[in-house]
Structure 1
């Protein structure tokens, strides 16, 4: 088997996927473009790859992300059109958020639809991504003044499937504080203060736990940039607020002592909240900081680490929030290394998402892997991954949950999160990727159905999103 991996926007999750496949699939070749100027990659990368991918009789399968206009590429290179063509969607342009509806560029979504029509197999990183794409198609094409295409979603659906983005979860044992190590080792919800098994209800109050599974191991103004890019050009230096800057009351006291060593009530360290997302409006930092400032106004004790990548235009709210939160800030800015990033996640108690859009959410799953309690909107992809107790419907609900956790951080610290991150690991998904990238792919019947649908539409095209220089 010879697999041709093409990435027009080689950065973030797009880069991670291509690298993982290249490392684990024998006889694969990679051609990429750098992860910048997304709009131009979507418009013109097919021409670049037409000229820079050499012809080879050994290629059997082609995989590209949905940034590339696959229809253009296979029209320009008929030899590539004869391969089994697999398209992977990290995000879709039919519902990607824009400030105003009239600002949506029709061409990007149109390219993705054409790419699906010429592909043999179309993969999505979540059910939310797939269904939002397919069900939005008819309304999307209403922008055409007349002679609109019909039933394209029916032609495409037969070749679609969900194949989650595979995450390589590292061993973070060395970074975990004592209470997380103890919780991981015992699988217990025991309070180190009382020894009483307790859990957290959907309103943040204490309740008798039901059975739970044991704990398992970002759109730019430039375009749909993967959520968690560690390693792009930064616009500011990461900051670590030191203990001296915070004052003695902000220094982390040790976690609760072992049972049997009572020396009176021990002070709990303040709740540590982490927000590990891109610094852009689609992640709704305004809601996040507004919620924290209300906690501060109520005199509640907490620390916050605001991580994630910055781009050219950072929303003003970040400068304002840094000033207004003052000594509540523990870490501020993009971390200098993946290890430093994981260390902060391991030290945190609660990870928050306030996203207005999310097609998968690597950062939230990484934080859960590091022992954080997740709080996510009851929308987008989150109900697909997180049980109801970790979801909030309104800003008021988010604020109420955090108020309860600030008052009783021990409740969060003894909770084993009921999310099996192993389901999204490379180890769990590897065989499915190998199967779909085999020359045979699906059954002969499924392939025939997909080809019949594509031919019936008379459209030939496929798109993919993620670049970085030819390798």
Structure 2
């Protein structure tokens, strides 16, 4: 039918031709439909025409990596309209193409949210070799391989040789040389939300005075900021992962009972602390709490509120919560006052350190657990003063970027993808350096609250990156399609 065709004018050299061809379709396949993986394909489907999406739930990560290709072989219908296949590196693309030769003719784009060659496993097992091996095979089959950061790309490519030495004998050679020409860096596109309605008076979202790019909307976990008092510091630890960072575990996502604490109202946080040095959370411990930004009164200045720290990451070992809590407990032992909000996604096995830290931190805790509401999450980030990462595994860090957009001062390891994303003054090299920075901020929270972030957030926005993604997902029809 004529409606199935598009008339395309193409200029080539000194002559012109008219080409009739079917409307191009983009096949989006996501084997782990959650976190940043879900955000990306949802965004592409919403913003780019002619996309069709097939997914598997974000559970049992290891099983998705092992078996997703067979599932999609049976559940993706054949169509002569497909022109491009876009998938994340969870999928074994080589297996899918072998099972579905019709998809092998498409332009195949593989996107890396993370790579398995550098994942810090707790206990190395030979069977884990498969996950990195699958990603290498997928790269060999793909036409274009995109990474969410230069760190992700280089750590993957430069680890291939060492990784393949795990094979007992007859090892393949020169794989990096075969794969590198296909690779490019394409930052994860963040659609920042309009958080101006959540901002406290002393805060301003980066780029909030700009044009259309200044307020970008994105379904990502939010960061919170809190006030400080001269003697008290507040820290909020949220169970959200940088935006919707992909879960690096094969465990089912869930919210264990008792992890989700009610939110403290901003009006309560504005109340002066008592002369006895009790924190707002101690005074209101028995009262029901909830975020209500309309109650912000702004009665306390920047020096009268305790520092509010937020930790918005997955509750898993690769985010190194042990290091974070050791720093906080040391601060508490020294009599420093703060509030903390621990946000982020939780799974079947929650490290014991979380329940232990919650008891020890006591009244310093403002929020504890996953916030399912996007608005609540961003409200907390807008309340907080400092956002901390102690990760041992990070290839981009949507949650940190979101928190900074909400006005938080970032403190990140001087490693992984962070030096690529944040200026040097926001990086620390050792846990002791992190402790000293937080100690100083507890004593002078006004320094953090008056600080203007010196980095650039707009380069990570969908507004800045959509042209590159559109180019990636377009192609001229080929005669063999």
Give the direction of change, closer, same or farther, for the CA distance of 1:426–1:314 in structure 2 (3 Å limit): same
**Cα gap change, 1:337 to 1:241, in 2 (>3 Å):** closer
Work out the CA distance in 2 between the residues paired with 1:13 and 1:242.
28
Distance 1:186 1:42 in 2: 43
How far is the alpha carbon of 1:312 from its aligned partner? Answer: 0.8
Question: Do 2:36 and 2:246's aligned partners in 1 also have CA atoms closer than 8 Å?
Answer: no
Q: Deviations over 1:368-408 (max 9, x none)?
A: 00000000000000000011100000011000000100000
Deviation at 1:238, TM superposition (A): 1.2
Corresponding residue for residue 260 of structure 2: 238
When normalised by structure 1's length, the TM-score is: 0.80
Between the aligned partners of 2:469 and 2:351, the Cα distance in structure 1 is: 38
Q: 1:36 aligns with which of 59, 81, 87?
A: 59
Alignment map for 1:419-438 (pairs within 5 Å): 419-438=455-474
Distance 1:20 1:186, change over 3 A: closer
2:275 is the counterpart of 1:251:
no
Rounded to whole Å, the distance in 2 between the matches of 1:157 and 1:183 is: 35
Which of 229, 236, 249 is the equivalent residue of 1:222? 249
The aligned counterpart of 1:287 is 323
Within 5 Å, which residues of 2 pair with 1:320-399? 320-399=356-435
- Give me the whole-angstrom Cα distance separating, in 2, the residues matched to 1:116 and 1:52: 23
The answer (yes or no) to whether the contact 1:98–1:104 under 8 Å persists in 2 is no
* 1:256 Cα deviation from its structure 2 partner: 7.4
* 1:238 and 1:336 in contact (8 A); partners too: no
The corresponding residue for 1:308 is 344
How far is the alpha carbon of 1:251 from its aligned partner?
3.1
Question: Secondary structure at 2:108's aligned position in 1?
Answer: strand
Given the alignment, which residue of 115, 123, 147 partners 1:100? Answer: 123
SS of the residue corresponding to residue 115 of structure 1 reads helix
CA distance in 1, matches of 2:401, 2:205: 21
Distance in 2, Cα, partners of 1:312 & 1:101:
20
What's the CA shift for 1:122?
Answer: 0.2
Question: Which whole-Å CA distance do the structure 1 matches of 2:149 and 2:246 have between them?
Answer: 17
Contact 2:113 2:147 in 1 (8 A): yes
Partner of 2:68 in structure 1? Answer: 45
Contact 1:2 1:60 in 2 (8 A): yes
SS in structure 2 at match of 1:368: helix
From 139, 145, 158, the counterpart of 1:116: 139
Q: Which residue of 1 aligns with 2:189?
A: 166
> Quick one: structure 1 residues 73 and 181, their matched pair in 2 at CA, closer, same or farther if it must change by over 3 Å?
closer
CA distance in structure 2 between the aligned counterparts of 1:182 and 1:99, rounded to whole angstroms: 38
How far apart are the structure 2 equivalents of 1:221 and 1:183?
30
What secondary structure does 1:179 align onto?
coil
Q: Measure, in 1, the Cα distance between the counterparts of 2:119 and 2:431.
A: 22
Matches of 2:416 and 2:249 in 1, distance apart? 22
Give the corresponding residue for 2:102.
79
CA distance in 1: counterparts of 2:457 and 2:262, whole angstroms: 29
1:174-189 matched pairs, under 5 angstroms? 174-181=197-204
Contact 1:239 1:333 in 2 (8 A): yes
Offset at residue 135 of structure 1 (A): 0.2
What is the Cα deviation at residue 46 of structure 1?
A: 1.0
What displacement does 1:99 show?
1.0
- In 2, the alpha carbon distance for the partners of 1:267 and 1:123 equals 45
2:30/2:88 contact within 8 Å kept: yes
1:416 is matched with 452
Please tell me whether the aligned partners of residues 89 and 125 of structure 1 are also in contact (alpha carbons under 8 angstroms). yes
Q: 1:224 to 1:167 in 2, by over 3 A?
A: farther
- TM-score by length of structure 2 reads 0.78
Instruction: Tell me the CA shift for residue 254 of structure 1.
Output: 6.1
Residue ranges of structure 2 left out of the alignment (5+ in a row): 1-23, 211-244, 282-295
Higher relative contact order (CA 8 A, sep 6+): 1
Q: CA deviation at 1:223?
A: 3.8
Alignment length, in residue pairs? 399
The list of structure 1 runs, each at least 4 consecutive aligned residues, that deviate by more than 2 angstroms after superposition, is 100-104, 181-187, 218-225, 240-258
| SS of structure 1 residue aligned to 2:203 | helix
Moved more, 234-243 or 277-286: 234-243
Cα distance between partner residues in 2 of 1:130 and 1:148: 22
Partner SS for 2:135 = helix
